[in-house]
């Protein structure tokens, strides 16, 4: 129990610190492609899908069968040509499937929304939903396949041909892993419906409610959700990947076990296409139980995770501030001091320099492995907090944050490079009478008129200052940090209790499943204690 609680606390700590993961400085070694189980694969950055990352590919242009990964193209064509709120009537053809098919579970003669059908096709890989979608949009699966081929040609899939809308085996239905990487990158980044596509394929579980009864749909991508414990799969292997955003599995005898996976970290999207798992593997036996097949079934998810880990770690580069300054990193900033003396030699313009150590090292995540890390474009977001004289040389007058890909690499104080004297107040000041009954201090503001030493004020421009003097939290909010800490602790306790409950429930279900299995075995006279 102590180890378990320590693990939970560690996970919570890591999640809390997730925004700073990019600071890691570990460099990846050359990836050992011999560890990839599938015979056809490619790893790409979604921004450049025709080119493998670091040359990680094998048989990327060989024609192969895509199985249910076909449904990525079926989905994107439906999103771009249909309306999610449309209701589709289910034909007999759409539900005419025998055993061994993955199905959503729709019923003939009823209506379902296109949105529910898309989830039913992409999460549990429903062949019935794919047929219903095609018939609703194009009138027939043949006409829809024509639309799919036209789309494939449009986006540059030059070695593919699609005959079915669900990917069931057909000799004339083929593609390449490079073409499927191109398709996936288009669906994620370029399609006008990319946001909806991303939402669908990244959903672990969904409830379809448009039909006659509610259907719970669970994603077959185990990088997003663990497989449930069943009577035939008592110990599913967890393949969850924190950066996973989809996308689709596939599995037929001739296609093997297939996966198109995508993961996103710090704005970089990587796509791994792995086809042909278990093809030609003499160890794999179709007569095995689900538990025996488990280690083969999860290899594609494990291989995708290994590829993503390699790529993301490989992208992390270290560079010194001095190197970045040599390439133009901004370290000096200007600000005008509004109440500077009229005799100021620079007319009130003050330069401030970032207080940075040239030897300090920062880590950046660079998607292009061929790009010089010192050529990255870093934003310098300055903020001045003290722009009123008198200001002494070396005084902190603000700060600057250096941002890359939306992440702050480092920040520094801005120091005044020289002193600035305050201008002497002249005539032309309109006095403001204070209310004797009001003991609170006030800040008097006004417009500058004439030269910098002459100020005209409006009596209405009297601004009360908070009881704290204008900085920090008001006295009546001093308790806020304590409340936030208490809330965090309570949430943490709830998470721990919930996880403990889930573990206990999982053990109970496993025990019940084993008891039922033994009972059936006794009844059949074939009882064999596997304890």
d(CA 187, CA 172): 24
Q: Which residues carry out catalysis?
A: 68, 71, 125
* C-beta of residue 139 within 8 angstroms of C-beta of residue 81: no
Which pairs from 47-53 meet CB under 8 Å and 24+ separation? 47/185, 47/189, 47/269, 47/367, 49/178, 49/181, 49/182, 49/184, 49/185, 49/186, 49/271, 50/156, 50/178, 50/181, 50/182, 53/270, 53/311, 53/369
Per-residue tokens: 55: 């040359």
d(CA 5, CA 499): 10
* C-beta of residue 246 within 8 angstroms of C-beta of residue 194: no
The order of strands in the sheet holding 244-252 is 52-58, 40-45, 268-277, 256-265, 244-252
Q: Phi first, then psi: what are they for 222, rounded to 5°?
A: -80, 5
H or E element, residue 322? helix 321-326
d(CA 56, CA 358): 36
Spell 69-80 as b/e; 16+ CB within 10 A means b.
Answer: bbbbbbbbbbbb
């Amino acid at each position: 129990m102590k180890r378990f609680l320590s693990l939970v606390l560690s996970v919570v700590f890591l999640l809390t610190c997730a925004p700073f993961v990019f600071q890691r400085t570990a460099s990846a070694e050359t990836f050992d492609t011999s560890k990839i189980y599938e015979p056809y694969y490619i790893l790409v950055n979604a921004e450049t899908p025709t080119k493998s990352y670091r040359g990680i590919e094998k048989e990327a242009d060989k024609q192969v069968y895509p199985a249910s990964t076909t449904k990525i193209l079926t989905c994107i064509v439906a999103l771009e040509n249909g309306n999610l709120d449309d209701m589709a009537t289910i034909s007999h053809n759409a539900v005419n499937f025998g055993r061994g098919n993955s199905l959503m579970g729709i019923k003939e003669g009823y209506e379902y929304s296109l949105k529910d059908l898309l989830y039913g096709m992409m999460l549990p890989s429903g062949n019935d939903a794919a047929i219903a979608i095609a018939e609703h949009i194009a009138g027939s699966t043949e006409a829809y396949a024509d639309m799919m081929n036209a789309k494939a040609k449009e986006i540059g899939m030059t070695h593919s041909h699609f005959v079915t809308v669900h990917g069931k085996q057909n000799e004339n239905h083929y593609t390449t892993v490079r073409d499927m990487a191109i398709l996936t990158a288009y669906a994620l980044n370029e399609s006008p419906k990319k946001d909806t596509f991303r939402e669908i394929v990244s959903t672990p579980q969904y409830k379809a409610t448009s039909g006659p009864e509610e259907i719970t749909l669970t994603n077959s991508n185990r990088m997003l959700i663990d497989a449930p414990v069943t009577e035939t799969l008592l110990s599913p292997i967890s393949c969850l990947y924190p950066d996973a955003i989809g996308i689709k599995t596939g599995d037929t005898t001739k296609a093997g076990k297939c996966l198109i996976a995508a993961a996103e970290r710090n704005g970089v999207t990587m796509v791994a296409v792995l086809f042909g798992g278990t093809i030609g593997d003499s160890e794999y036996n179709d007569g095995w139980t689900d538990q025996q097949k488990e280690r083969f079934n999860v290899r594609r998810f494990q291989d995708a995770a290994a590829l993503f880990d390699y790529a993301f770690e490989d992208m992390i580069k270290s560079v010194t501030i001095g190197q970045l300054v040599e390439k133009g990193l901004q370290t000096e900033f200007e600000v005008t001091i509004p109440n500077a003396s009229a005799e100021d030699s620079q007319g009130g313009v003050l330069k401030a320099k970032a207080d940075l150590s040239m030897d300090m090292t920062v880590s950046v995540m660079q998607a292009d492995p061929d790009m010089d890390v010192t050529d990255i474009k870093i934003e310098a977001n300055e903020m001045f907090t003290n722009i009123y004289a008198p200001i002494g040389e070396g005084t902190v007058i603000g700060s600057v944050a250096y941002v890359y890909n939306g992440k702050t690499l480092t920040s520094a104080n801005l120091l005044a490079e020289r002193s600035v004297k305050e201008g002497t107040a002249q005539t032309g000041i309109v006095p403001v009478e204070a209310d004797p009954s009001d003991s609170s201090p006030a800040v008097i503001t006004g417009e500058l008129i004439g030269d910098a030493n002459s100020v005209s004020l409006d009596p209405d421009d009297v601004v009360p200052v908070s009881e704290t003097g204008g900085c920090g939290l008001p006295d009546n909010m001093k308790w806020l940090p304590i409340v936030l800490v208490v809330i965090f602790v309570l949430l943490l306790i709830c998470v721990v209790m919930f996880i403990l409950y889930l573990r206990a429930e999982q053990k109970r279900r496993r025990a019940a499943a084993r008891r039922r299995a033994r009972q059936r075995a006794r009844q059949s006279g074939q009882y064999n204690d596997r304890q």
